[in-house]
Amino acid sequence: MYAIDLGDGAELRPLEPWQAAEFLAHMDRARESVDPWIPWAERSTDLESATATLQRYADNAAADRARLHGIWLAGTLVGGAMFVHFDAVAGTCEVGCWLEPAGRGHGLITRSVRLLIDWAMDVRGMYRVEWQCRPDNVASANVARRLGMRLDGVRRGEFLFHGVRHDTQVWSLIAPDRG
């Protein structure tokens, strides 16, 4: 398996079904800060459901539709970066991330997602990379800004969480933006 050095003792590597126990322990540490933003987080509550989440991404990776990578800091899984969807034919994809509190303040998300964007655009030829977040997720919007993305607009009432509808900001980076 490969690992990409993120510096400061951190690595980005594939997150796969055989790592479900480690993923579940991480989700339990991250749950309070991740559940409102990542729909599958609250569904990964035991070993079976955590394995199912990781298997769904493994199946999508095999079909070239999505990918999931974990972020390890000093050997501990603290977050991840992902292609929420990936459409090589259309030349579009969406990136996303999550991070438990122990991983904050190291720039891990920006570095990890930048690697995903570079790979998608430079290697796979993606024209458009999207980032979506709720307007009240200021940290997420700040990452999009640091990555050079532009706010395309807001989809009103698009995201349902615990019976409450939330708006979704759509950010993007297109090939001409990169010069």
Its domain, for residue 122, covers 4-178
Whether the pLDDT of residue 37 is over 80: the answer is no
CATH number for the domain including 162? 3.40.630.30
Q: Looking at the 3D structure of the chain, how many domains does it have?
A: 1
Q: What are phi and psi of 28, to 5 degrees?
A: -65, -35
Model confidence, pTM: 0.94
Question: What is the pLDDT confidence band of residue 38, given thresholds at 50, 70 and 90?
Answer: confident
User: Is the four-CA dihedral 149, 155, 158, 159 of positive or negative sign?
Assistant: positive
Distance from C-alpha of 161 to C-alpha of 36, rounded to nearest angstrom: 7
